[in-house]
Amino acid sequence: MIRWINKQKYILFLTVLFVVSLLLNEVIPHHFLTFTIMTLLTLCAGFHIFKKAIMDIRYKIIGIDLLVTIAVVAAFIIGDYFEAAAVTYLFTLGHVLEKGSLEKTRSALKSLMNLKPKVARRIENKIENMISLSEVNVSDILLVKQGEMIPTDGIIMDGQGQLDEQIMTGESMPVDKTKDDSLFGATLLLSGYLFMKVTHVGEDTSLSKIIHMVEEAQDQKAKTQKFMEVFASYYTPLIVLLSIVLLIVTKDMRLAITMLVIACPGALVIATPVSYVSGIGNAAKKGILFKGGDSIERLAKGKVMFFDKTGTLTKGKPEVKVIKTYDHDENDLLRIAATAEMYSEHPLGQAIVDEAKRRGIHLQDEHLNTTFVIGKGLTFEYNEATYKIGNHKLYDHIMDERVNKDIDYLESSGYTTLIMSQDERILGLIGLMDGLRDHAKDVMNKLDRLGIKERIMLTGDQAKVAHLISKELEMTKTYASLLPEDKAKIIKSYQGKELSIFVGDGINDAVALSYADASIAMGGLGKDLAMETADVVLLGEDITKLSDAIKISRKVRSNMIQNIVFALVVVAILMVGVVFEKVSMSLGMFVHEVSVLAVLMNAIRLLRYDLGGLKNETFKSQSVHQVSPHL
């Protein structure tokens, strides 16, 4: 704080000196007092610059500080005190302003870091103790109450609650969690009461890993950035040489040193990184992690997209889609089936229970004398009748032709079909399928509008199921029954033709990923491998982030191009101005500093770049659960 106030005072002091110099230069230009004030300003403002310049000589760096120092000293030699004073003042002022703007481009990450919780409530011998977060160890049992922040990563031991995980996933919808579910530090418990067991602390928590990844990403140099730096490193010495040549040829010291001052490629070197830093920071806040500038560039240029099906386009777990009954109430059938499956660990059983709950059917715990028939289904007794529920293997022979026809229809349409009977009479059929992710269709339309030429589905699943999903999403092409190496081969066949993007869940796709030009992993939170391998990690399960990621990457890329073009044009204009003696040293410095600030301001726009889109757009609700009308 004191430093900050001192800095304010220092800049104010310099500004006063500068204004006095300006006035004196007009009123009594050649007076002793004028020279004194100007020299004082040069020394006060230039002190830091000269110190750094001397350091740079030691490390053989030709940096901006050295160039400015040479120019200022030369200006003094030729008696141009005002120019010397103005240049040092503008340079110092510009530097302070740049620092503020640069801090701003990096602010997105700071806001993440400030979210780290400070305290935790540990349970020791049944007593609650408030302790500082640094004292928490793995395996500790913590209590979290409504409205509090989850202190660190862990699993729920007891209790349930609604969690706001927006800071991790960027998704605003609260998530319900219960026993055995994972918790992430710094997320918020909106309602409920949880006992949790700590699994990760300190640097190992998801939040720390995300922060670390973003830091690495922001510092990873992209191709464009490397090119600009190489360019700048040749360009600066070249300008020095040019100044010397100018001095020898024209014998005009003023012209030579003006050239030196405008030479510094400040805006150029800064142009590319600031766009990336802002863009990566903003995306991270939305639950989209870019691995670096290169990832952004490759994603922005992608024209063909490959999708894994299960867990990427679909939720990765079955859902009840169709119920067909034969003279029996649909909800009653579901109620009986769900009662029997209530404690089932099988995904199909869980899907039936979920569907019953979704329809608001009240389930009672009853003793049903259940027998599991592995690979087929189960039988149970209820209200003095024997029920069976399972696939066709559970039934020897079904006599009713109508039922057989329906089973054939469902199975050929790609549904996993369960048959339910009461005392050998068929009550009904339940068709299940791995459901599409919410808004998957809208995202596909968005991708088309973003100019993605082909959307190709690659899946290891059987063709029937694949084509059903593919038809619903209007995929350009679909390849089914693939082995992982087949996926890689297909992607490879596109190499050199179109730039490709692969989207998967990041777990079984390592080979495929390596052949695509860019890769996106979905639902990466808590999956270390996915976070490491993909170019872009979508932390949450929300597929809408996919089109957001592509939009951000393109926005960042165009922002960066704007900056580079602007910086080059400014330098070119200045050079021409200097050669025709229209640009003085101080004007050159002024334009230089303004151009750096302009580039920074342009990058800061990326921080405010809101994708708007999905939250504001009204979705045609996808009736994922709707019962199929085909039967």
Which residues of this chain interact with other proteins, rule CB under 8 A? 3, 48, 51-52, 55-56, 59, 61, 63-65, 95, 98-99, 102-103, 106, 109, 215, 218-219, 229, 269, 273, 277
The CA distance from 152 to 202, in Å, is 8
Cβ neighbors of 419 (< 8 A, separation 6 or more) are 388, 389, 390, 391, 392, 394, 395, 398, 403, 407, 426, 429
Which candidate in 308, 434, 438, 548 is catalytic?
A: 308
Contact call for residues 65 and 91 (beta carbons, < 8 A): no
The CA distance from 550 to 547, in Å, is 5
Residue listed under structure tokens 């691995």: 291
Burial of 626 (0-12, 13-18, 19+ CB in 10 A): exposed
If the CB atoms of residues 281 and 414 are measured against other proteins, the closer one turns out to be 281
Give the shortest CB-106-to-other proteins separation in angstroms: 6
DSSP annotation of 133 reads G
Can you say whether the dihedral through the CA atoms of 391, 396, 400, 405 is positive or negative?
Answer: positive
- Tokens found for residue 50: 């000269």
H/E run at residue 129: strand 127-132
If the CB atoms of residues 270 and 456 are measured against other proteins, the closer one turns out to be 270
Give the shortest CB-621-to-other proteins separation in angstroms: 42
Give the shortest CB-24-to-other proteins separation in angstroms: 31
- Tokens found for residue 125: 């011998």
Give the shortest CB-99-to-other proteins separation in angstroms: 5
If the CB atoms of residues 95 and 492 are measured against other proteins, the closer one turns out to be 95
Told to judge if 517 belongs to the known catalytic residues of this protein, a careful annotator would answer no
Give the shortest CB-98-to-other proteins separation in angstroms: 6
If the CB atoms of residues 3 and 615 are measured against other proteins, the closer one turns out to be 3
If the CB atoms of residues 62 and 175 are measured against other proteins, the closer one turns out to be 62
Give the shortest CB-589-to-other proteins separation in angstroms: 15
If the CB atoms of residues 98 and 354 are measured against other proteins, the closer one turns out to be 98
Task: Name which of 550, 492, 495, 503 is nearest 530 in CA terms.
Answer: 503
- Tokens found for residue 625: 């659960």
Q: How far apart are the first and last CA of the chain?
A: 73
The amino acid at 186: A
- In 207-346, which ranges are E strands? 288-290, 304-308, 314-325
Give the shortest CB-523-to-other proteins separation in angstroms: 27
If the CB atoms of residues 107 and 344 are measured against other proteins, the closer one turns out to be 107
The CA distance from 360 to 142, in Å, is 33
The CA distance from 348 to 346, in Å, is 5
Active-site residue numbers? 308
